[in-house]
Structure 1
């Protein structure tokens, strides 16, 4: 089994960036989808802040807040302009103030793998940044994407200039920008976009210098398939994510793409997949739960992009799994707010159970059943749950059913 870590070995420094990781009580909302830029987003979200807080979310991940060549925000240009297709700087600050009032942390989407230039330079490419703050030249761009910098320390994001993090002036400018987002703008948490694109040691440096309360990286590569069949053993996939977390000095969590890949196949009548060869959950959650941010869908996998969507008629089974299990669960905006009140209320009920029963990212888990049509587990000896159409309930009079729905049920002690 790949190396997992002693969860409790933590240094106890003041303003320690891993404080929220230690607490383990985080529940994250991804507060946007791929189409949000069309809907006056900062104003739309501001109205929902009271409900987001009441629902039990500790943090809301917002779309990239800075000026971007593409409206979704993932082709940044002027990093210091907070006027974007999601709304003006003024509206963003109003949203962040309201979130602060309701004690929901704002998570910034940090897009620092690539940056679209303003001017054509070397090779006739847009690899200069003239006329805007951080006026870098071609030395800030990796040599493999048309610049004069060094070769990339990760995978290329094709089609646009990739930032060369090996350059000290680049890292200094990015660090100052992250500190500005953290200390002046008011973002408290970071989500690192396309984390495969540059070495995790730079993420470590950025976290140490900007001190977000909680960080999570998007290290997304393909699960192990034979043709279109998902292999049972995904250990090499989760090990790559764990290696990335290690590379950040263990300061960042990572999205648990392994769990997503396995869970969305499992709910189609293959629930045996949810127990690995050692009897543990088969995703990153099974090896290093305090660093595993579990989720069903996001703006890439679901929404209108639908690159790798969770089967829609099994979504509540998916939430019954991640919201009762170890790890740091994340809920997708669409499921909470666009799919109707009953989905909203069922998800919130599961978050309530998680909080009332004191479940957290490191809660112990015993998997009791993992058959094609039935999965059952006991978490922290405080919650029992089952998903699938097989019938099951925990033995013992001390268990009371707290919530149930289509092919899922949850009991508490």
Structure 2
């Protein structure tokens, strides 16, 4: 992709610089990128000061795609992913719900025991499984939202696990399933549409596209989910009940983050409203969209795919991040087919969502759906560490899958990569990636901090005065010392089959001197 590398230099001339009078720093923005509705907000989120904002009258101005927009009444954090340096562990797999039956202890009890180890590894957040009572063991067909006794354990065990995580400064993230909800009682026609528990809705809470459930609500604002009654988020009473429940989950149970399931099923405007009301420290959604394939092979250009993810994030008002399915799809195709030229777009940037909007991209290579025992879209098992070498060095908020973290084949190397990311201070904010090579057999990049403060987007100019790293994937030989990257001296601090990471020797020596003192 030599043409892409050349295009990168041309793209640099498409940057504009303006003065940020509030902070007194130069702000660089791309003229050809979608910008966040919250681009000017840099107010950090203080977890000790997260009272509910008073919502003003509903307006249609902020989201023309739906008449149910919730105006953001005050600036939100500069990123919905904490301080930009979060490291997330997905703390379950598809079979975790069977832990009690198989090993005579609940999954919550197992996680509770592992909290010190999770903290020592450097994880700052744990994405936990759906916490509510559910028709399915895995929790993705919820019934009574206030009933927190599930196949993962009892409510007391959940509360104990959440409390211990917070003792270790780990942010517990709840898996929020509110696209659909299963009723526990039938109407006179035998349709399951009567809800029980504290949130005792009736058929008005179900979208009208669900005739098998007798839905009497409005049309859905997203894709239909066939297995269960789809919740009508246009109903004010529905949104009121859900916001009260989320507030209870935060203030009473102790969660500090939300992972929203199947967000394609309802407008992102509603996700934005729920996040604005509850002010979580972390907020990200599962916008799982199909990549473009031709004859079973992934097409090179996935710009339309990542743009759809960007559009969904924008629809939330920018207060919620999204899983970077684009990066997963491209990365696993590149390593499986030895086609590392895929890892650069036509403008010289990373081709996934993290190359467009890193502060809103939650990167991953596997989860309970794509891998585990389901294997819906698995990452090549012999290339797992190449995958982590990429997402743990590149901008975005990386997520490590539980199965990979505990597997002896990969755990040590993943731990080393986590240490490098923390030591270098890599962030999803003001990040920079300069791609050095992208050929069939090699991908190499220089990654660090941007020379200028970026409000949105991704810089390609790495500040060599601050800690940075170089990395490579593939079968071809490459060294940043031979390539004279940044005119710096580099030390290889981690490597394996088809991957390697180098750190700037000067900053490594400075850190060693600091530790010695």
TM range (shorter): over 0.9
Cα distance in 1 between the residues matched to 2:142 and 2:370: 21
Contact residue 317 and residue 407 of structure 1 kept, 8 A: yes
- Residues 1:236 and 2:236 are matched in the alignment: no
Output the CA distance in 2 between the equivalents of 1:251 and 1:18: 8
1:86 is aligned to 152
Residues 133 and 142 in structure 2, CA contact (< 8 A), matched pair in contact too: yes
1:34 alignment partner in structure 2: 94
Residue deviations 1:34-93 (CA, integer Å, cap 9, x gap) = 000011200111111111111111100000011111110000001001100000011111
- Distance between the aligned counterparts of 1:63 and 1:400, measured in 2? 39
User: Aligned equivalents of 1:401 and 1:116: distance in 2?
Assistant: 53
Counterparts in 2 of 1:289 and 1:271: CA distance versus 1, 3 Å:
same
| SS of residue in 2 equivalent to 1:21 | coil
Q: Equivalents in 1 of 2:420, 2:275: separation in Å? A: 32
Secondary structure of the corresponding residue to residue 364 of structure 1: strand
Partner residue, 2:495 = 404
Counterpart residue number, 1:97: 163
> In the alignment, which of 473, 498, 504 is matched to residue 387 of structure 1?
473
Counterpart of 1:159? Answer: 227
Matched residue, 1:287: 356
Distance 1:385 1:139, change over 3 A: same
Matches within 5 A, 1:202-213: 202-213=270-281
Aligned residue runs from structure 1 range 5-404, under 5 A = 5=36, 9-12=40-43, 15=50, 18=77, 21=81, 23-39=83-99, 40-121=106-187, 124-130=190-196, 132-146=197-211, 147-268=215-336, 269-337=338-406, 339-340=407-408, 342-362=409-429, 363-380=431-448, 381=464, 382-395=468-481, 396=484, 398-404=489-495
Distance 1:331 1:7, change over 3 A: farther
Structure 1 position 226, deviation (Å): 1.1
- Helix, strand or coil for the counterpart of 1:236? helix
Deviations 1:320-351 (A, max 9, x none): 000000011000000001x22x4111101101
C-alpha spacing 1:25/1:11, structure 2 compared with 1 (3 Å) = closer
Query: In structure 1, what is the Cα distance between the partners aligned to 2:95 and 2:340?
Result: 33
Matched-pair contact (CA < 8 Å) for 1:142–1:148: yes
Q: 1:122 to 1:28 in 2, by over 3 A?
A: farther
Is contact 1:30–1:332 with CA below 8 Å preserved after alignment? yes
Please, what is the CA RMSD of the aligned residues? 1.5
Q: Deviations over 1:87-111 (max 9, x none)?
A: 0011111111110111111000000
Q: Residue 61 of structure 2 corresponds to which residue in structure 1?
A: none
Query: d(CA) in 1 for partners of 2:254 and 2:263?
Result: 23
Report Cα offsets for 1:247-302 as digits up to 9, x if no partner: 01100000000000000000020110000000000000010000000000100000
| Secondary structure of 1:103's aligned partner | coil
| SS, match of residue 416 in structure 2 | helix
Q: TM-score, normalised by structure 1?
A: 0.96
Aligned partner of residue 301 in structure 1, secondary structure: coil
Q: Find the aligned partners of 2:342 and 2:38 in 1 and give their Cα distance.
A: 25
Q: Distance in 1 between matches of 2:195 and 2:39?
A: 44
Report deviation, 1:5.
4.5
Quote the Cα distance in structure 2 between the aligned partners of 1:22 and 1:6.
Answer: 18
Q: Of the two, which has the highest radius of gyration?
A: 2
Q: How many residues align?
A: 410
Unaligned runs of 5+ in 2: 1-31, 51-74, 100-105, 449-463, 505-517
Distance 1:230 1:194 in 2: 23
Shift of 1:21: 3.4
Match of 2:18 in 1: none
Name whichever of 305-314 and 220-229 sits farther off: 220-229
* Structure 1: stretches of 5+ with no match in the other structure: none
Task: Give the Å deviation of 1:373.
Answer: 1.2
Q: Determine if contact 1:4/1:287 at 8 Å carries over to the other structure.
A: no
Q: Secondary structure at the match of 2:181?
A: coil
Any idea what SS the aligned residue of 2:307 has? helix
C-alpha offsets along residues 335-385 of structure 1, whole Å, 9 cap, x if unaligned? 001x22x41111011011001011111320000111111100000141000
The aligned counterpart of 2:507 is none
Q: Is the partner of 1:402 in helix, strand or coil?
A: strand
SS of the equivalent of 1:215 reads strand
Q: Distance in 2 between matches of 1:217 and 1:197?
A: 11
Q: CA deviation at 1:229?
A: 1.1
Deviation at 1:123, TM superposition (A): 5.1
Q: Distance in 1 between matches of 2:250 and 2:188?
A: 34
Determine helix, strand or coil for the equivalent of 1:78. Answer: coil
Q: Distance in 2 between matches of 1:123 and 1:406?
A: 61
